[in-house]
Amino acid sequence: MRNSLLFLLVVLLLSGCIPRSRTDIPAFSGTLVDSISGVPLGGASINEQADPAAEGWTPQSLRTEDDGRFNYPALTSGTVYQLPAPGAGWPVSRTMIFHKEGYRDTTCRCTNMSLFGKENEAVIPLVRIDQSELSTEEPLLLHLSDSIVCQAFVGSQVLYQDTLYLIGEIYRQGQYDGNPLLLTLRSVPPNEGGIVLAVEDYRVQLAPPVQPAEE
């Protein structure tokens, strides 16, 4: 039996295939912070979802540590023999819903390919309710990294053409749901400098604040 397994392994290696663990639900870790000050937010509740949900998987509800940290390891199952290729497999996602008293509830989604086995970490900014005006449109999903997107609201800090702005308004051009969401951006600090109008959401990136240095 052992000789048969060794023979099979040699055949697979010679054919260019390599063994990989299949990722059913990607890893997702990071630090939850105030969107403006960068102060870590401890004690925030996190509820998770997955798409597709692995068989027998149970969502975990956690709270962030005192330093704002959270950690959800990847869920992997089985070994797949695959030709070397980046981003192979099919998309698997893990969605986190962050809740902290005094802040807007914020949903973030991490998406990887099932055979990529990538670690995912981000600084997740939450917007204070008193700094965020309600928009008539749904919040945007903007990129924090190549694999992580989070909701952005009026008052969220964003990067556009390498410059930091605040979202001033979220609206649609026309009355149809299929029309793209557009933004107005205010300079930071507000009311200093001009306003960029009609920026399509895919050209804007959510900007996590730099965490304050430890004393």
pLDDT digits (tens, 9 = 90+) for 29-64: 999 999 989 999 999 999 998 887 777 778 888 999
The count of other CB atoms within 10 Å of the CB of residue 7 is 10
Looking at residue 194, what is its pLDDT? 61
Is 195 contained in some domain?
A: yes
Q: Which domain holds residue 182?
A: 20-206
Question: How is residue 200 annotated by DSSP?
Answer: E
Is 14 contained in some domain?
A: no
Is 65 contained in some domain?
A: yes
Q: Is the pLDDT of residue 85 over 70?
A: no
Is 140 contained in some domain?
A: yes
**For residues 86-103, average pLDDT:** 86
Return d(Cα 206, Cα 27) in angstroms, integer.
20
Does residue 55 or residue 2 have the better pLDDT? Answer: 55
**Mean of pLDDT over the chain:** 79
Is 171 contained in some domain?
A: yes
Q: What are the structure tokens assigned to 141, written together?
A: 């999903």
Is 134 contained in some domain?
A: yes
Is 12 contained in some domain?
A: no
Return d(Cα 164, Cα 54) in angstroms, integer.
39
Q: Is the pLDDT of residue 214 over 80?
A: no
The structure's pTM equals 0.80
The number of folded domains in the chain is 1
Is 188 exposed, middle or buried, given 0-12, 13-18 or 19+ CB atoms closer than 10 A? Answer: middle
The backbone region for 142, taken as left when phi is positive above 0, alpha when psi lies in -120 to 50, beta otherwise, is: beta
pLDDT in tens, 113-161: 887 768 899 999 999 988 766 666 677 889 999 899 999 998 899 988 8
Give the residue from 141, 139, 137, 134 showing the smallest Cα distance to 206: 141
For residue 151, what is the domain's CATH number?
2.60.40.1120
Is 15 contained in some domain?
A: no
